[in-house]
Amino acid sequence: MADHGERNAVAAPFSSLAVRSSTEWVADHASHVSIDPAGIAKVVDSLHGDLPAVSWDFEGIHYFDGGPLTAQYLLVLDTLNFCFWPDGDLHYDHLAAGLKRALQRDNSIFDAKSLKSFTGIQLRELLEWPRPLPLEDERARLLAEVGTELERSFDGQAVNLILAASGSAVALVELVAMHFPGFRDHSVYKGHQVFLYKRAQIFVADLWGAFKGQGLGAFADIAAITMFADYIVPAVLRQWGILNYSPKLARIVDNLEELSSGTEEEIEIRACTIAAVEMLREKLRSKAGKERMHKLVLDQSDLRYSLQCRGSAYHPARPPVL
C-alpha cells in the first residue's frame, strides 16, 4: 500500500473531528473494506478490561537525550517514516536505529543545513543499507524541505517548532502541516475530502511517548490525536477479524501488489483502520474506567510501536496491546 509524499498542495487546519468524521464516512460508504463489529467485540472481550502497557522505546532503537536533539531526531525520523514494504528486509526499526547510530556518530548530522544537502545515495549510506531505499530520492527531497523550512522559520531547530505550539498537540499538527507540505495527508474519496495526517500526528505522539508527557512532550490536548493509518496495523486488524477485504482487494494485498496512493482501495484501508480503532476505544471505555482512559490516548502510539516493530510475531488469537 503506497503511503508517501504530499497529498494536497494546500494545507488545511488539523481537526481530529475532521479526521474522525471523514474516515467514518469512508467506512460507511466503502466498497472494498468493511469493519466487523463482532471482531471488535471479540477483541474487547479478550482484554477483560486489562490494558497492557508498552513503553515508547521498548525495543531500544530510538535516540533519546532528553533535550532538543531528540526533537530534531524525531522530526527527521517521522519525515522518513513511510514506505518500507517494497523491500522485504527493510523495516521501521532499521530506520529508527540507523538514524540513532548516525546521530551518535555526529550530533550535527541533522542540523537544518545538513538536511538540505542530503541525496538519496547519502541517505542510504547513512542508514548503512546495502541497496537503494524505497523512494530514496523522495525521502531526500522531503529532508531538504524540512531543513529549508526549519532554517527559514524556526532558526533551524525542531524544538522551536514545538515551542511555537504552546503545549497543544492540535496546534503542533497544524504547524507541521502548514510548514512542511510533505506531511499533508489529505485525499479525495467519492467526492469527499478525507483527512488522515498520519506522520504529523506520529510526530506529536512520538514526542509525547519519548518525553513521557513532560517537557517537550507535554500536550494538554493529547487526546485529540487519532490512530495513525500505516500499513502494519490494518494487516493485524484483518488477522483479528476486525477488517474484512473484498475478494479482489484480498488478492491484491495477499499477492503483495502495490496499491497506488489515492486509490479507493488504499483510502478505504487507511480510513477504516482509523475508524476501527476509534470503535475499539469506545468499546473499551466501559471496561477501562475513566482513570484508565488517558492511557488509551497512548494506545495510538503503543499500538503502532507494538505492531510496527513486532507485528510479524503477533498471532490472530492474541489480543492487541492497547
Residues 103 and 110: their CA atoms lie apart, in Å, by 7
- N-to-C CA span, the chain: 24
Grid cell 532528553 — which residue? 66
Q: Which of 78, 206, 230, 299 is flagged as catalytic?
A: 230
Task: Identify the CA nearest to 88 among candidates 27, 129, 140.
Answer: 129
SS3 at position 282: helix
50 assigned to active site: no
The three three-digit cell numbers of residue 305, written as one number: 510501536
Residues 309 and 61: their CA atoms lie apart, in Å, by 10
**Catalytic center residues:** 230
